[in-house]
Structure 1
Amino acid sequence: MDDTLYHLLLEGRQVGPYDKRTIVGMRQKNTLADGSVLIGPDGRKLTVEELIRGPRDEFALTGTFSLIKARFDAKLASSDRHGPLPRYEGDLEVRVQEDILRVAGKDDRVKIALKDVVHARARDQFADLWLRTDDGKLQAASFEMASPQAASELVKWLSGATPPTTAVLAEKGAPMPYGIVIGVAGAVIAIVLVVIVLFGARVR
Structure 2
Amino acid sequence: MRYEAITWERLAEALARRLDGAVPADGSSRLKVAVDGPPAAPGGEFAEQLAGALRTRGRSVLVAGTGGFLRPASLRYEYGKQDPDAYYDGWTDTGALWREVFGPLEPGGTGRVLPDLWDPVKDRATRSPYVTLPPGGVLVLHGPFLLGHWFPFDLTVHLRLSAAALARRTEDAWTLPAFARYETEVDPGDAADVVVRADDPRHPAWTGFGS
Question: TM-score with structure 2 length normalisation?
Answer: 0.24
- Higher share in helix: 2
Answer 1 or 2: which has greater strand percent: 1
